[in-house]
Structures are given as C-alpha cells and as structure tokens.
Structure 1
Amino acid sequence: MNKFSWPCVLVAVASFAACNQTSGTTTAKTAVAHADDTVMSCTSNLPSRFAVNTSSDSIVASGNNSYEGMVKIPGGDFLMGAADKEGRTDEYPQHAVHVDGFYMDATEVTNAMFAQFVKATGYVTTAERKPDWEELKKQLPAGTPRPADSLLVAASLVFTPPAGAVQLNDVSQWWQWVKGADWKHPQGPGSSIKGKEHFPVVHVSWDDAMAYAIWAGKRLPTEAEWEWAARAGLTNKPFTWGTEPVEKGKPKANIWQGHFPDRNTATDGYARVAPVKSFAANAYGLYDIAGNVWEWCSDWYRSDSYTQSGTKKLINPAGPAASYDPEEPTVPKRVVRGGSFLCHASYCASYRVSARMKTSPDTGLEHTGFRCVKN
C-alpha cells in the first residue's frame, strides 16, 4: 500500500497531530493548551478506519471464573478529573464519584492471553478484515473517490519514526498505513510476536477487546473505575506513583524519551512496547497503568460529560448514553486511558491519571491495548 495514498488515510492520520501541546507538565505548555482548545489530542479525529462490522454476539464465556492474574481494588469515593492546571478541558470540573470494589487485571492483556482467546473462538480482529467501502465512505466528505481495490485491504497504522527532526504538524511523517499489520504482526508482515508472549496485545479495536472480555467472563472497566484504580488511594496526585515528575528518579513507566518523533533515547529500556511488569506496580498492584499502551474503557466519550455531572455524587457512573466529540461529531468514540510509549512530557503527557482520550471503537493502533475487570 502506498503511504497515505487516499483521502480516508489522510483524514485518519491527520488526527495524530496528537499530542502536540495539548497537555503537559510546564506552565508554558499548559498555557498553549488552554489558549487553543482546537488543538487535536493524541487520538482525536480518527475516522472509522476499517468500517468492518465486527460483533461479539457469537462469543460465549469460556466458563473460567478464576480471578487469577487480577488484583482486588477496594471501593471508595474520590474526586474524578484534573486537580491542577495541567489537564485538557475535558478533564474539568472535578466531580465526586463513588465506585464499588472490583477486581482488575494486574497487567494489560498480553499476546499469550489473546492468543488463547483466538484459538478457542476463531475470532478475527478488526485489523485483519478487509475494509467495507460502502461503510467507510459514510465517514468521508461527499464526493470522495473510491480507492482502488488494491488499497482496500486489511491494514493498520504503524509508528514509523522519521530519520531526523520534522515539523510536528505533519503526522504522516511518523505514522504509516501498513498492509498486514495486526496483533500478530505489530510492525507488518515482516514482524511477529514470537518471543513476545508477555507483551501487551496491540492493534485491537474496542470491539476486539469487548469480545475477549466476554469470553474471559470479564468486562472492560468504566472510565471512573479506571481512574480510581490508577489513583491507587492517592488524593489529587497527578500520577499513579504520586507527584514526582516522570523524568526524575528511576524510570516509572514506558514513555518516550529524547526528541519526538525522531529520536528515542529509550532511557527506560524500551523504544516501543515493553513486556508487562517491566516497571513497578502502583499501590494497588497494577502494572503499566501509566504509559506502555493506551487502554480501552467501556464508556462512550463526550467532551462535556464532566460539565454535565452536576454537584451530586455519582455512584458507579457508566458514562454518557451516547458519544459526542465536537472535533468529529459524526463519529462515535469510546474512551481510552493511560497514555503509551509515545507519550513525552513536552508533547503528550497522557500518563497523568486524569488524562482522557477518545477513539472510534473499530480502530486499533500499534500503541493501544486493554485490561479487564470483574465484579
């Protein structure tokens, strides 16, 4: 497939103008973020990339009721949302929330775990399916020409760092559509997950994550559950580990170090995805709740959901009834949380516990995975 060779791809990849200056850890960067709320976030404006009708209707629970690999998260009350001035507008205002106790996977779902699901069910992920042009064109401007059949193939977006410094307003310089990229081939057909059984599974859509959760007898966490678990009993702290800046001390999470997007010094030991449990767990025993890969939540995304929460404490909120993203109002989005190996303090500090992002549910990416919860 030619790089960004048709309009849908151009639209999709333009969304990755991501992380530029929308949040961070300095006053200057925060000022930029709040001065221009039209700046796109790390996962904004992603159209329905594959427009493949995947369904979990045929998936049945495996019957395994074990809590193996999970940690118990106590119930409690907290203020959800950003407590400082570092957040994006959709992280305000803080609002009171109560969540009941639950169990959560200690790690992101790994390749080995996902492989067991695929073997048992024969499930085919979104990224492995051929796009449906009739569905895809509904999300493109009227009159968009139909691409050649040779381009309507199963593919996914792979991070491809440029050789040198580039302008950050052209994300096509570091994201590339790769035919054959999927969970078994994270960088395309020449790559594999052999020897990476304990790495997080990636290139999974929300639909794929839901199918796995049903099979495993679990579910995806609500956004409130995810943030409560990430806070790990700490009150109004920006990070899952507390307040120490991510750049200080020993590596705390798998993020980007160096100059984005061309030079990753990999000070934390990893240039891309890291095996689970490569960094210390938080106080609740959760690994990689910050960085490594984005994690799907069950909630629909609304940019104004916090402003509509009111003053009454919310009890086990499950999110809005429908999605609304003013940057792309015709495309429904689900919430993703936690940041990824591409987050940098000066570019995309979404490893903060209150940081929110959103992605079309049929979209999988090289830096997106999930973990499950259970009542």
Structure 2
Amino acid sequence: MLPGVALLALPGGEFTMGTDSSEGFAADGEGPSRRVRVSPFRIAPTTVTNQAFAEFVRATQYVTEAERIGHSYVFHLQLPAARCALSPEAPGLRWWRVVEHACWQRPEGPGSHIHTRPGHPVVHVSWNDAQAYCQWAGARLPTEAQWEYAARGGHDGRRLPWGDALAPGGEVRCNTWQGQAFPDAPAAHWQPGPVAADAFAPNDFGLHNVCGNVWEWCTDTFLPDYHRATAADDPLDLRESGQRAMRGGSFLCHDSYCNRYRLAARSSNAPHSAASNIGFRIAAGMPAQG
C-alpha cells in the first residue's frame, strides 16, 4: 500500500443489503433485500483525489483511456457557453456533451485544469484506469457488498448514512442536484460539479461522500439479478455482462430524474467509459474470487 494512504479498517459482519422499497429501480436489481456477510477489509475514507492520481501518473507515465480516445463526456452546465455550443450532444442524452480533450487533468476540456482542486475527486477515469491505479497502489476496488457495508456505517435499513431524509431540517449533507427539475435549472447558489473528496461530515465508519458527488466504480460486473444470483457470504459478481457496477450516485442525482444517491441504489457503465461525474475509491482485503 502506498505510504501516506491510510485505509479504514472495518470489522465486517452481517448486514441487510439492498432494498425492497418501491422507490428503487427494479431494472437495476436493487433487491430483494437480504442478509449478507462480508469479511474484514479496509477501505479509503475518500475517493481518489486529483493529487493522488497525479502522483500515480508521474510515477508510471500512465495515459488514461479518455486521453487516448481524445474526448470524454461533460455535463452541459459545467461548460462555458461557447464550448457547450461547439460540443456535440451525447446520443440520446442532451445534457451530456462530447468534449474534445476533456480528461482527468482538464475536467471541462481545454482551458480547465486541476491545479486549483487537488483535493477534488479525480474524474474522467474508466474502470480500466481505476484498475491500473489499484495495481500501482497495491489495492483494489471494493466489491458492491463491501461498498454498501462501508457506506451504511453500521446502520441497517436507512436510505442514507444519516437517516431517511436527504436534507434533514434543511441541512445539506451531500452533493446532489440543487434547484428545480434536472437538468436545466440549478439553484443560483449551486454550481453543478464535484466538491472536495472530504466535503461534508463522514458517516459513522469515517467515509466521506458515499452519497452524491461522483459515482464510484466497484469490482463487480453488473447484472440486475445480483441479489438473487450471488452468495450470501462475501458476494461478488464476476459473470460476464460487458458492464461494471458503480455505486453512490453523483452531483447530478435528483428525485425528478434519478434518485440513485441512495445507499441501496446501483448503476453501471462500460469499463472503458469515462465522464465528469465518475471516480473511484480503493480498498484492500478479501481478494477477488474467480
């Protein structure tokens, strides 16, 4: 493990994973909820930051997939108006723009840079990029079960680490969409985009920003029958699907479109995909099966 990377040691044990709530997305396979057990493991308190990823790149000369491809996907309101107008829409998703030369170092394309945000989550990293970082760091991505166990912070049955209300008493506790209906009317005081990886109070296990901010890649492949098909002890899905699991939601989550900021929510993307709202955190322990 890298010097200076302090992972949280979690004892593991049984917990209730998934949800039977009607607000879950049936097509994502958020349930049925069930009791599962995870072995002791370690996990990072935050997602990997720009500064940490830069150290990896300096040491290895690694080039991310977005850099090799020559473009990545950026949410339209993160872009200056002129660049937004010149960047084509992603097929079927008008709020995403295909931005030439957008990558982890230039999150909104040419003219943007990470120099002023070293503590923000690294974004525009594919699952394959995350795997390369993990190999260098002597770590790995958490499994979906490890991620949910850690994100729950020892509390079964909650929608969110602190309870069921997204903003109890009006207090904002995570970085999700603020304002009117997604994707065109953000609140005047809020700018769409990631905030610092350690923003907001941690959960009761010490993890920051498990809800919102950026999606987090997991080890598992993604299939909607996950809860019916995987073991109750250290669940891990490695069946071929062409997709990899992501957890936690992002700054774009909103009840009017996508409430996947919830702890039980799941999503996926192709392992080569990258965007301005996808990052990862690292873990160690319980080596992958198969």
- TM exceeding 0.5: yes
Following superposition, the deviation at residue 77 of structure 1 comes to: 0.4
CA contact 1:241–1:282 (8 Å) conserved in 2: yes
In the alignment, which of 188, 211, 216 is matched to residue 109 of structure 2? 188
CA contact 2:72–2:103 (8 Å) conserved in 1: yes
Deviation string for 1:323-358 (max 9, x for gaps)? Answer: 2xxxxxxxx000000000001122211110000001
In the alignment, which of 210, 216, 225 is matched to residue 137 of structure 2? 216
The one-letter code matched in structure 1 to 2:54 is A
Following superposition, the deviation at residue 100 of structure 1 comes to: 1.0
Following superposition, the deviation at residue 359 of structure 1 comes to: 0.4
CA contact 1:83–1:236 (8 Å) conserved in 2: no
1:354 aligns with 2:264: yes
Following superposition, the deviation at residue 270 of structure 1 comes to: 4.6
The one-letter code matched in structure 2 to 1:204 is V
Deviation string for 1:217-254 (max 9, x for gaps)? Answer: 11000000001111111111111212223364311100
CA contact 2:167–2:173 (8 Å) conserved in 1: yes
In the alignment, which of 55, 69, 76 is matched to residue 160 of structure 1? 76
Q: How far apart are the structure 2 equivalents of 1:82 and 1:172?
A: 28
**1:225 matched residue in structure 2:** 146
CA contact 1:254–1:270 (8 Å) conserved in 2: no
**2:41 matched residue in structure 1:** 102
Which protein has the larger Cα radius of gyration, Structure 1 or Structure 2? 1
Q: How far apart are the structure 2 equivalents of 1:303 and 1:213?
A: 26
The one-letter code matched in structure 2 to 1:84 is S
1:343 aligns with 2:253: yes
Residue 264 of structure 1 aligns to a residue in which SS? coil
Q: How far apart are the structure 2 equivalents of 1:65 and 1:366?
A: 26
The one-letter code matched in structure 2 to 1:155 is H
1:202 aligns with 2:123: yes
Flag the 1:67–1:87 CA change in 2: closer, same or farther, 3 A: farther
The one-letter code matched in structure 2 to 1:317 is P
What is the aligned-residue RMSD (CA, Å)? 1.9
The one-letter code matched in structure 2 to 1:202 is V
1:263 aligns with 2:185: yes
CA contact 1:206–1:361 (8 Å) conserved in 2: yes
In the alignment, which of 71, 89, 92 is matched to residue 8 of structure 2? 71
Q: How far apart are the structure 2 equivalents of 1:121 and 1:223?
A: 28
Following superposition, the deviation at residue 195 of structure 1 comes to: 1.2
Note the residue ranges of structure 2 that are not aligned, 5 or more in a row: 82-90, 286-290
Note the residue ranges of structure 1 that are not aligned, 5 or more in a row: 1-63, 131-153, 164-169, 324-331
**2:63 matched residue in structure 1:** 124
| Aligned residue runs from structure 1 range 272-291, under 5 A | 272-291=193-212
Residue 174 of structure 1 aligns to a residue in which SS? strand
Following superposition, the deviation at residue 212 of structure 1 comes to: 0.3
TM-score (norm 2): 0.88
TM-score (norm 1): 0.69
Residue 228 of structure 1 aligns to a residue in which SS? helix
**1:147 matched residue in structure 2:** none
**1:85 matched residue in structure 2:** 22
CA contact 2:166–2:173 (8 Å) conserved in 1: no
Count of residue pairs the alignment pairs up: 271
Deviation string for 1:78-106 (max 9, x for gaps)? Answer: 12111422211111111221001111111
**1:252 matched residue in structure 2:** 173
Q: How far apart are the structure 2 equivalents of 1:350 and 1:266?
A: 23
% same residue = 43
Following superposition, the deviation at residue 66 of structure 1 comes to: 4.5
